[in-house]
Amino acid sequence: MCNYETEPLDELVVKLDLARAGLQGPVYAEDAVTLEPVDIAPDGTLKLDVLRQRYRLIKISGEPPRFRAAALGPNLLPIAPADLSATWQSAAVAAGAAGDLRAAGRSAPGPGSGQGFDDGETTWTSGPR
């Protein structure tokens, strides 16, 4: 679903012909990007919120959604406001000398490296280099 407009769409109603799509039995919907479940009625009706000038990609299938809230980690900035500005500051985020942001966490080697998790700290940098 696409929204080319400058205003968001709240509860956009989409009705799919599940039989014509060859889907029968229990049918599930999930956001194909975030893997979050999306409610779908037995008659194929969905209600979606679509931000302005954005799209939603929804997977419809007989497979249950893969999203698991238990697999999510804590919010890295739980005190951050919903809308960040260029002047927002927080003692919870260390800024480097060049004005970049630094956060520490654990990292793992890439697939096939034969190594386990690295218990050392890794610093990710965002901003001017």
Q: Which of the listed ranges 13-17, 62-66, 111-115 does the model predict with the highest average pLDDT?
A: 13-17
Note the pLDDT tens digit of each residue in 75-111.
666 666 666 666 766 666 655 656 565 555 555 555 5
CA distance to 76, 79, 98, per residue, from 123 (Å): 14, 21, 15
Helix (H, G, I), strand (E, B) or coil at 28: strand
Q: Helix, strand, or coil here: 119?
A: strand
Q: What would the pLDDT profile of 11-54 be if each residue is shown by its tens digit?
A: 999 999 999 999 988 999 999 888 889 999 999 999 999 988 98
